Amino acid sequence: MTDWYHELTQEIAPTFITVDNPTGAEPIPDSFLFNDTLNTKIPVEAGKTYLLRLINIGAFVAQYFYIEDHTMRIVEIDGIYTDAAEADILYISAAQRYSVLVTMKNSTEKNYPIVTVADSVLLDTIPSDLKLNQTNWLEYNSSASFPQAVMTVSDCSDLNPYDDMSLVPYDKMPLLEDPDVSLELTVTMQVLDNGADYAFLNDISYTKPKVPALYTVMSAGSLATDATVYGDYTHSVVLDEDQVVEIILNNGDTGTHPFHLHGHAFQMIDRFPSYGAHFYDYADGDPVTYNASNHSTFPAYPARRDTFVLPPQGYFVIRFKADNPGVWFFHCHIDWHLAQGLAMVFIEAPLAIQERVTIPQQHYDVCEAAGIAYEGNAAANTEDYTDLSGQNKQIAWLPGGFTARGIVALVFSCVSAFLGMGMIAFYGLSDIKKGAQGPIALREEVREHAD
């Protein structure tokens, strides 16, 4: 399932991060597809059990998924097998995957709608011609009718999807011990000095370095363990091998954010609010942040996946073990938010990367052809890796007070206002008798000629 834009990203993007869109309203998809089309019919045999592999490959919009009058049994999420769990409705964000078992009915008298419902809460506006609900079918009988799905709720937010926090991994991997590294991050959206809206993790909007981080790792020697060399605006965190890492992610934004971690399936140990009737309760209120001394009981065998939905103005807590040396992106999988900078980087066991990884020559050839430096720190400095002069920077913050140009503009505005008021007072209070008699005399003269 996916959202579909009828124009290319490079045609849409220039209208997104711009002074003309200070609220950061995401571009609205033109339509929604199922298996790259519409009105899909999946032939099935009565009484059989099928494994359905569900993937949201969209750029933006999450979708609810259900099959009328059928129950799903979840057996896998994001590549991690789970104990079977029955579900009626799933909420599948961009990049999330589910495998479900569905047992067919014994009767072939009718066909059943497969329903996808776009999460309209994510959309700032809903065009009148945008169809949010799509019907496809389990085809038991090609001669029977193919009925359209009937929505049982007035708003998609009233649907009650299965809470993926409730799943138990099949391998029963226990809760990771207390973390060696704990990072508390806050998502915010803010307008910068160019008038456009950007996304931040702890006031850093990811800005790509002049040298890709992996190439900095490979060329920095022992300095690869120093986070400084990766730049001030890549939000890079260096991890030692086998450390237990905890990420506390608070949402200061009113929208949901599906966060994806490369290189790992993390344990989901807390989220608030949970999926269900109260998931959007704090979208219009004050943000709720994680309290380490007052939280729900962590599960003994936490569900694991690589993409987890952050609630509006809520939080989640995840843990993973740094047992996979590499340079791993952690980012919102709504592509528009990634473009706004909602990302950071984990540099995991950089010295182990140097020992175990060999970059093929063709990679360097591609960099040369593209004019991208492949040695040095984030500023492409190969002489002093701690010198970040010339690094790419995020757009400057809006000034806290008046700038010099603003002060000059204010002074001239005030002077113009006082001059205008003075002119009004001067002419308004001057002798108007002579001016008033002119038109009266003229009217009298006109009457005389008329007579």
Structural tokens at position 447? 């009457």
Q: Is 216 left (phi over 0), alpha (psi -120 to 50) or beta?
A: alpha
What per-residue confidence (pLDDT) applies to 417?
79
Ordered by start, the domain boundaries in the chain are 2-162, 181-370, 404-450
What per-residue confidence (pLDDT) applies to 445?
55
Q: Hey, which residues does 168 pair with through a beta bridge?
A: none
344 membership: H or E segment, kind and range: strand 343-348
Judge whether 136 and 114 are in contact, CB under 8 Å: yes
Q: What is the pLDDT along the chain (451 residues), one digit of tens a residue?
A: 999 999 999 999 999 999 999 999 999 999 999 999 999 999 999 999 999 999 999 999 999 999 999 999 999 999 999 999 999 999 999 999 999 999 999 999 999 999 999 999 999 999 999 999 999 999 999 999 999 998 888 889 889 999 999 999 999 999 999 999 999 999 999 999 999 999 999 999 999 999 999 999 999 999 999 999 999 999 999 999 999 999 999 999 999 999 999 999 999 999 999 988 778 888 888 999 999 999 999 999 999 999 999 999 999 999 999 999 999 999 999 999 999 999 999 999 999 999 999 999 999 999 999 999 999 999 999 999 999 999 999 999 998 655 556 566 666 777 777 887 877 777 766 655 555 555 545 455 555 555 5
Annotation: CATH topology of 2-162: Immunoglobulin-like (2.60.40)
Spatial distance between the Cα atoms of 182 and 318, rounded to a whole number of angstroms: 10
pTM of the complete model beyond 0.85: yes
Spatial distance between the Cα atoms of 74 and 82, rounded to a whole number of angstroms: 7
> DSSP string covering 405-443, please?
HHHHHHHHHHHHHHHHHHHHHHHHHS--HHHHHHHHHHH
Spatial distance between the Cα atoms of 143 and 135, rounded to a whole number of angstroms: 18
Judge whether 332 and 342 are in contact, CB under 8 Å: yes
- Radius of gyration over every alpha carbon of the chain, rounded to an integer in angstroms: 30
Check if 2-162 and 181-370 are the same fold. yes
Place of tokens 């949201």: 56
DSSP 169: B
Sort strands 181-191 and 244-251 into parallel, antiparallel or unpaired: parallel
> DSSP string covering 29-92, please?
PSEEEBTTBSS-EEE--TT-EEEEEEE---SS--EEEEETT--EEEEEETTEEEEEEEES-EEE
What per-residue confidence (pLDDT) applies to 197?
98
Place of tokens 């909007």: 205
309 membership: H or E segment, kind and range: strand 307-310
Spatial distance between the Cα atoms of 327 and 400, rounded to a whole number of angstroms: 36
Structural tokens at position 269? 């140990």
Spatial distance between the Cα atoms of 451 and 202, rounded to a whole number of angstroms: 86
Signed CA dihedral, 43, 49, 53, 54: sign only: positive
Q: Hey, which residues does 139 pair with through a beta bridge?
A: 43
Q: Closest by alpha carbon to 153, among 132, 182, 176, 130?
A: 132
Spatial distance between the Cα atoms of 297 and 249, rounded to a whole number of angstroms: 17
Judge whether 377 and 230 are in contact, CB under 8 Å: yes
Spatial distance between the Cα atoms of 403 and 183, rounded to a whole number of angstroms: 36
Sort strands 244-251 and 236-239 into parallel, antiparallel or unpaired: unpaired
Per-residue b or e along 298-332, where b marks 16 or more CB atoms closer than 10 Å to that residue's CB: ebebbbbbbbbbbbbbbbbbbbbbbeebbbbebbb
Spatial distance between the Cα atoms of 197 and 108, rounded to a whole number of angstroms: 53
Spatial distance between the Cα atoms of 3 and 244, rounded to a whole number of angstroms: 36
| Range 181-370 classified under CATH 2.60.220.10 | no
Backbone angles phi, psi at 115, to 5 degrees: -115, 130
What per-residue confidence (pLDDT) applies to 420?
78
Q: Hey, which residues does 261 pair with through a beta bridge?
A: 330
What per-residue confidence (pLDDT) applies to 174?
99
Q: Going edge to edge, which strands form the sheet with 315-321?
A: 197-201, 181-191, 244-251, 315-321, 266-272, 304-305
SS3 of residue 14 by DSSP: helix
Q: Report the residue count for the chain.
A: 451
